[in-house]
Amino acid sequence: MQEKFTPYLEKQFANRAIAEQYLVPKDNILYKFKNLDPLSEDSHQPVKGLIHKYDNRALIKVSYRCASHCQFCTRIRQIGTNEGDLKFDEIQNIITYIKQHIEITDVILSGGDPFFSPKQTLAILEELETIENVKVIRIGTRLPVHNPKSFESAVIKKVLNKVAEIQQKKPLFILINFEHPDELTPETIQVIKQLKQTGATLFSQTVFLKGINNNSNTLKRLFENLFWNGVLPYYIYRCDSVKGLEHFVCDMNEEIEIMTELRKRLSGLAYPTYIVDVEGTGKIPIPLSFWSDTDISQCKDFTDKQIRL
């Protein structure tokens, strides 16, 4: 079923590169991938809503809700249902776990979109603020891209006030998901400024999407414009092998050529790390074509396990 979109987003659907990210494709998807959870998130969940896959880092799925409905969403299996909304006792279980695991120093609020469940986000931030072992907090969001107007709401402003308060004590990073340079509209740039005022450091994350951003001019324009607006490109991911995302996955050799080309054309600060989140454990950097004869059909994951790509 096709979801409803904000008037802001619908206005942009005249732009094919934007529309295709959100609209259900007309052609039938050839389901080549079998797995809805290739990153085995569901098996790294010690308590509901918390993924603890890397020793020092933990990711909280604040809710499964997100108003964006990107067709390339890695968590397409969950997004849009109410069952992922964390209840306040579930938040307490997560907090207890983080306190008991003092190796966790870096906590990521994800989802869904943490800004789409601002009450839960606020409650979690208030707890994380005081936990000794939590040194760094990150919030991942795409709301500034598909619904910048929502940042006028009182409850989101309350979250931003909390962000401003926390980041006096510990670094807080906001990671915004951008796929195309045309997403940097005046409205979205205004939200970037608003987020910057909190004192948080802003990064971007991008997914390679076939037919949407898989060319070097588009990505150059995206990364450069992010950089010029004070947002540093952090990662560009290879699209995950999630069932239903097949039509977005680009050819890996083409991606390597694009990233090699961009390395020559962009400032280092405007250049993200190109990675694949493998079906083992780890976000693995993909080698560029400055080196010859690299076998890209397989790699070793963080646990030294051989992974076929």
Ligand X SMILES: *Cc1c(COP(=O)(O)O)cnc(C)c1O
Q: Where do contacts with ligand SF4 occur on this chain (CB under 6 A)?
A: 66, 68-70, 73, 75, 79, 111-113, 142, 177
Instruction: Check binding of 57 to ligand X (CB under 6 A).
Output: yes
Q: Does 54 bind ligand X (CB under 6 A)?
A: yes
Q: Is residue 53 involved in binding ligand X (CB under 6 A)?
A: yes
Backbone angles phi, psi at 276, to 5 degrees: -120, 130
Using CA atoms, how far apart are residues 247 and 206, in angstroms rounded to an integer? 17
Is position 283 an interface residue for ligand X (rule: CB under 6 A)?
yes
Is the CB of residue 65 less than 8 Å from the CB of residue 73?
Answer: no
Q: Supply the minimum distance, in Å, between the C-beta of residue 136 and ligand SF4.
A: 21
Report how far apart, in Å, the C-alpha atoms of 39 and of each of 121, 154, 256 are.
24, 36, 22
* Backbone dihedral angles phi then psi of residue 195, each to the nearest 5 degrees: -65, -40
Q: Tell me how far, at minimum, the Cβ of 56 lies from ligand X, in Å.
A: 9
- Determine which residue in the list 9, 18, 50, 59 makes contact with ligand X, applying CB under 6 A: 59
Whole-angstrom distance, CA of residue 3 vs CA of residue 49:
24
In terms of CB distance, is 63 or 299 closer to ligand SF4?
63
Phi and psi at residue 241, in whole multiples of 5°?
Answer: -80, 60
Q: Tell me if 77 contacts ligand X by CB under 6 A.
A: no
Per CB under 6 A, 51 contacts ligand X: yes
Judge whether 261 and 227 are in contact, CB under 8 Å.
no
Query: In which element (H, E) is residue 59 found?
Result: strand 57-61
* Helix residue spans in the chain (DSSP H): 7-12, 16-22, 88-100, 118-130, 143-146, 154-166, 186-196, 216-228, 252-265
The binder of ligand X chosen from 50, 104, 107, 108 (CB under 6 A): 108
Cβ of residue 283: shortest distance to ligand X, in angstroms? Answer: 5
Q: Which stretch binds ligand X (CB under 6 A): 13-21, 29-37, 49-57, 177-185?
A: 49-57
- Taking CB within 5 to 8 Å according to partner kind, which of ligand X, ligand SF4, none is near residue 79? ligand SF4
Give the pair of three-digit tokens for residue 245.
């995302």
Give 147 or 281: the residue with its C-beta nearer to ligand X.
281
List of residues contacting ligand X (CB under 6 A): 51, 53-54, 57, 59, 108, 283
